[in-house]
């Protein structure tokens, strides 16, 4: 297990947020990893993702969005979330200037990262990695949340479950195809938005995560 270093990340015009810096000795790249809307950077799924990437030679910087730092259940307005993403990216670049830099995250965190990138490129970021991009609310299919992706010029990797209620495949596939060669879609069979698979598949959630992390690490390196 690669140890994590608690850090503080300054944000222009706002209070700092907590972060976790995890870097293996052989790190070939670094991913700024944003959490989802309902759970912070210390959630077991976030920890398992960071630990698994460290085992594959990828450093990570996890961070709290300001609302999570305050203990609120209401996600930040986009401008606030975007500022946190930019601050975390700047901190990762400062700590590992020699490593290839990527950004992204789980669900809400990935979407806030791509919005920030679409508005103004994140300095030094070579690509975006989405762990379950939330294309639409559950039960309300649509692709409006993906429209900003047309303004993202860097490569993008979508890691999605085929049973994700927040990204039905009949909508997600055309979105990714429409982005052209800069976007890649990797599907985890039978996995839902949390990358959970039913027992009938004969697979464990840990197996699904390992497959996803193999794909992510290979893409980044």
Q: Which domains does the chain have, with CATH numbers?
A: 5-220 (3.40.50.1820)
Crossing angle for the helix pair 44-55 and 205-220, to the nearest 10 degrees: 50
Specify the pLDDT at position 98: 92
The predicted model gives 13-25 an average pLDDT of: 95
Q: Decide: helix, strand or coil at residue 100.
A: strand
Q: How many helices (H) and strands (E) does the chain have?
A: 6, 8
Closest CA to 108 of 193, 9, 44, 186: 193
| CB 36, CB 72: distance < 8 Å | no
Specify the pLDDT at position 14: 86
Specify the pLDDT at position 2: 86
Closest CA to 213 of 47, 68, 9, 2: 47
Burial, 187: exposed, middle or buried (Cβ in 10 Å; 0-12, 13-18, 19+)? middle
The predicted model gives 179-189 an average pLDDT of: 97
Q: Identify the weakest region by mean pLDDT among 7-11, 68-72, 129-133, 202-206.
A: 202-206
DSSP 189: T
| CB 155, CB 183: distance < 8 Å | yes
What is the rounded CA–CA span in Å between residue 158 and residue 92?
22
The predicted model gives 86-98 an average pLDDT of: 96
Residue 169 has pLDDT above 80, yes or no: yes
pLDDT digits (tens, 9 = 90+) for 97-134: 999 999 999 999 999 999 999 999 999 999 999 999 99
Q: Decide: helix, strand or coil at residue 145.
A: helix
Confidence band (pLDDT; 50, 70, 90) for 93? very high
Residue 1 has pLDDT above 90, yes or no: no
| CB 81, CB 106: distance < 8 Å | no
Statement: the pTM of the whole predicted model exceeds 0.95: yes
How many other C-beta atoms lie within 10 A of the C-beta of residue 71? Answer: 7
Closest CA to 219 of 182, 165, 188: 182
Specify the pLDDT at position 202: 86
């Amino acid at each position: 297990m690669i140890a994590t270093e608690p850090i503080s990340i300054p944000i222009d015009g706002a209070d700092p947020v907590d972060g976790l810096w995890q870097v293996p000795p052989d790190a070939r790249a670094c991913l700024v990893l944003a959490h989802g809307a309902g759970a912070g950077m210390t959630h077991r799924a976030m920890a398992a993702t960071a630990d698994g990437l460290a085992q594959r030679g990828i450093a990570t910087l996890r961070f709290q969005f300001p609302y999570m730092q305050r203990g609120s259940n209401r996600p930040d307005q986009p401008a606030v979330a975007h500022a946190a993403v930019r601050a975390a990216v700047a901190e990762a670049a400062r700590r590992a200037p020699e490593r290839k830099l990527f950004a992204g995250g789980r669900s809400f965190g990935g979407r806030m990262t791509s919005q920030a990138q679409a508005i103004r490129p994140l300095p030094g970021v070579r690509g975006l990695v989405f762990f379950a991009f939330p294309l639409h609310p559950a039960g309300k299919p649509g692709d409006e949340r993906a429209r900003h992706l047309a303004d993202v010029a860097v490569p993008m990797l979508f890691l999605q479950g085929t049973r994700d209620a927040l990204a039905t495949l009949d909508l997600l596939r055309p979105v990714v195809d429409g982005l052209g060669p800069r976007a890649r879609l990797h599907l985890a069979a039978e996995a839902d938005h949390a990358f959970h698979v039913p027992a009938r598949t004969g697979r464990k959630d840990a197996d699904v995560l390992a497959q996803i992390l193999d794909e992510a690490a290979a893409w980044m390196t």
